[in-house]
């Protein structure tokens, strides 16, 4: 099954309530919420009070991405919100097993994230313990970056690693996901596509979010490998 996630930091921050209503109408599957500390990435975004308010205002499941140093500190800060998914970066975790167990202790689905240049080997020991793998196709921090095509090989490598496994975490892709880059992933077939400025929140035409999401979902499903 294909899941469409909306990167809410790319939405109109002055009218988030309106954005949530439009995303619900468009049958968006997940809200992807980036938490950035200004240290691990050169940007600041989305504090716990703001995300808690979003969770109260919508029925769409919440997917929090911690682009931070010291994952345990931020897991403890954001887990009480009870998102559906919570991801941390393998590059910053001193003890990935500890971070995974900490997330699970809150009854939250666990996701592990890796940057474009991080080899897939970094997450192999944890594939049986996580519910999702977040493959960044750009460096975290800012929208509008160029899609890193090297990640396509990593996605295919991960798909091969999951063949025959009883436990198969979802594969989520984030970073300049749009019609063109989705086409590049026809043979790797991730499960969750995070849409930001390029595909969803842009103002280049008068299409509704409903139309944009439906069109991209149809494009993905038309090329799914059976």
Q: Strand 44-45 to strand 30-37: parallel, antiparallel, or no bridges (unpaired)?
A: antiparallel
Contacts 24+ apart (CB under 8 A), 184-190: 184/147, 184/149, 184/152, 185/152, 185/155, 186/223, 186/225, 187/156, 187/225, 188/152, 188/155, 188/156, 188/159, 189/159, 189/224, 189/225, 190/135, 190/155
What stretches of 66-149 show up as alpha helix (H) in DSSP? 71-78, 96-105
Active-site entry in 12, 29, 34, 70: 34
Instruction: At 129, list the tokens.
Output: 């313990």
Rounded CA separation 54/46 (Å): 10
Active-site entry in 29, 63, 131, 174: 174
Q: For tokens 């975004």, name the residue.
A: 45
Q: For tokens 């109260």, name the residue.
A: 56
Count the residues in the chain.
226
Q: Is 84 a catalytic residue?
A: no
Residue 210 parent element (H or E): helix 209-222
Q: Is 174 a catalytic residue?
A: yes
Catalytically active residues are: 34, 174
């Amino acid at each position: 099954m294909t899941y469409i996630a909306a990167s809410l930091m790319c939405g109109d921050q002055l009218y988030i309530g309106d954005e949530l209503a439009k995303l619900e109408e468009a049958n968006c599957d997940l809200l992807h919420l980036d938490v950035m500390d200004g240290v691990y990435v050169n940007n600041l975004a989305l504090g716990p009070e703001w995300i808690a308010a979003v969770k109260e205002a919508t029925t769409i499941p919440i997917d929090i991405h911690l682009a931070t140093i010291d994952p345990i500190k931020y897991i403890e800060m954001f887990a009480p919100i009870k998102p559906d998914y919570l991801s941390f970066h393998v590059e910053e975790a001193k003890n990935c097993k500890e971070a995974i167990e900490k997330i699970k202790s809150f009854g939250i689905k666990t996701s592990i994230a890796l940057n474009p240049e991080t080899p897939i080997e970094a997450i192999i020991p944890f594939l049986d313990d996580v519910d999702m793998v977040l493959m960044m196709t750009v460096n975290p921090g800012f929208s509008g970056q160029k899609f890193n095509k090297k990640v396509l090989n990593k996605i295919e490598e991960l798909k091969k690693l999951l063949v025959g496994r009883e436990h198969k975490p979802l594969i989520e892709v984030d970073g300049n996901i749009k019609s063109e880059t989705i086409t590049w992933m026809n043979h790797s077939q991730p499960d969750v596509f995070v849409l930001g400025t390029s595909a969803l929140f842009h103002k280049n035409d008068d299409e509704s979010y409903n139309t944009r999401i439906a069109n991209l979902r149809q494009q993905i499903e038309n090329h799914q490998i059976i």
